[in-house]
Amino acid sequence: MDSVLQFLSGQEILLLFILISIGSLFGRVRLSGVSLGASAVLFVAIGISAYANAQGFKLQVPETLGTLGLTLFTFSVGLVSGASFFASLRRGLGPIVAMVLVVLLGALVAVVVGRLLGLDSATIAGSFAGALTNTPALAAAREAAHNNTLPTVGYAVTYIFGVIGMLVATTLALRHRAQDTDAPPPLVNCTVRVETTAQPSIREIEKRHGSQIRFSRVRHDGEGHVHAATLSEVLERNDLVTVVGPADQVESVTHELGHHSSHALEIDRSELDFRRITLSNGKLAGRTITELGLLPRFGATISRVRRGDVDMLATDHFVLQLGDRLRVIAPREQIHAVSEYLGDSARGLSDINPIALGLGMVLGILLGHVAFPVPGTVFSIGSAAGTLVVGLILGNIGRIGPLVTTIPYTAAQALSELGMLVFLAQAGSKAGGEIGHAFTSGAWIDILLLGIAVTSTVGAGLYFVMRRLFGMGGTQLAGVMGGTQTQPAVLAFANSRTDHDSRVALGYALVYPAAMITKILLGQVLGRL
């Protein structure tokens, strides 16, 4: 075994992929229906590295690879969540402020409990960073403590429970997932026979329902053909229209206009046809559905957009991304032309858009190194928070002139998972190498108790505040817990339990930047007490 450990100590890339593969295998093991998923890579890396260190060998993935993995992960999460993040920011301001207050409460608990246990400020600051699994906060604490080694000891002892404790809190949050009321409603379609004599226009009806419904097909009374609906069309008695949207909104429009028809325009493909078409034409990505100009060009409309595993209503101002699957309704003779115009290539799912990736990573890393002055010191948010912020902005913008600023959803998810696995392997190998030294300090039990107190306070505080005050569903709460902990392992666990539900990433991205900045500042404050 010593010869194997000695060999691996000089093979850093090989070690990285051994940790990823073994950890991923353990991540598939289920106990009582629960598995760790990708987060198992972290614990396997800690175990193997700690064992090697006890035998006199140092097995550690280079720090630079961990930084690369973490920044790839945060940038990809930002891109995927950008549009949803800014759309929900106004209603999400309350949860962000509440999260900051909960983290502040965790810092207060760290000081009070740490003093009662007789721990010094440097150890308390490092323990706080480890309990909330935040390496930049540890760096801030070490700087504030004049590079004392005590913050690292506290960090190493509390880190493991920082992950495990929040995984337990996330599991408790997901137990209520079936009762979530914030799930995006499934889209349905219905053919309606118009009975009203008010002669409303389609534009008026869609506006009245807050653009939550869309009309896709129309057959006017006395006409034999079906055509794509336009906003300017006026509906008259005995017309047939197909309405698409959430079930409750479709039902409301049906009662408003008339009644469910026994005819189903959506299955009549004699004149209009429909097809799922992948947007792979880079010139069209980042544009709204209206800007595509499908109706004047081809007499075609889009009723739904499928991004990842989620169907969304195709409103006129919906911004499209490469890889979106569009449900297009068009005259039969125009379907082929529409497909060519949109691209309809598998490349739209896999193109990583290297210009956007490179530019976004550069801007994010530079932003992370900007020094912001605060009373008595300066701080930087770090590369992880910097790339997340830039990713959120680019994901929301979609396009700058001819430059597409997003990456296809599928490709972004793949980059995110790869980055996360690399980071978890590196973080685990580093913690495992330091854990032995931490236990020789003699105060590890007190440090562990402090970490348990901090992690439990933040986990329980988030659960209570988000559920009770904001009525947040368990799925998004799981993402908020991972984002507050700034811990990819928690996000990976929540994603594996929810089959990558988009609400998990939204919750994570909503609080991550504020949580990162708050913990860096608190690390500096605690280290100076």
In a domain, 130, yes or no: yes
Examine residue 139 and state whether it is found in any structural domain, yes or no. yes
Helix 502-528 / helix 121-131 crossing angle, nearest 10 deg: 180
Listed as ranges, residues in the chain with pLDDT below 70 are: 30-37, 39, 84, 87-91, 139-140, 143, 147-149, 182-185, 222-223, 309-310, 347-348, 374-377, 379, 434, 437-438, 441
pLDDT at 134: 80
CA 19 to chain centre: 24
Residue 529: what pLDDT? Answer: 78
Residue 452, domain member (yes or no): yes
Amino acid (1-letter code) at residue 13: I
Asked if residue 170 belongs to a domain, the reply is: yes
Look up residue 439 and give its two tokens: 């236990």
Q: Is residue 194 part of a domain?
A: no
Cβ–Cβ under 8 Å, residues 253 and 207: no
**Domain membership flag for residue 335:** no
What local confidence, expressed as pLDDT, does residue 454 receive?
Answer: 96
Residue 230 domain flag? no
What's the confidence (pLDDT) of residue 222?
64
pLDDT at residue 301 in the model: 87
Predicted local distance difference test score (pLDDT) of residue 381: 75
**Rounded Cα distance, 152 and 133, in Å:** 12
Tell me, what's the pLDDT at 441?
66
**Three-state DSSP class for 119?**
coil
Name, in order, each residue with C-beta under 8 angstroms of 519's C-beta and a sequence gap of 6 or more: 103, 129, 132, 134, 136, 137, 486
d(CA 30, CA 312): 33
Q: The domain containing residue 143 runs over which residues?
A: 2-63+88-180+420-528
Any domain includes 115: yes
How many structural domains does the chain have? Answer: 1
Tell me phi and psi for residue 231, to 5 degrees: -65, -30
Give, for 159, the enclosing helix (H) or strand (E): helix 150-174
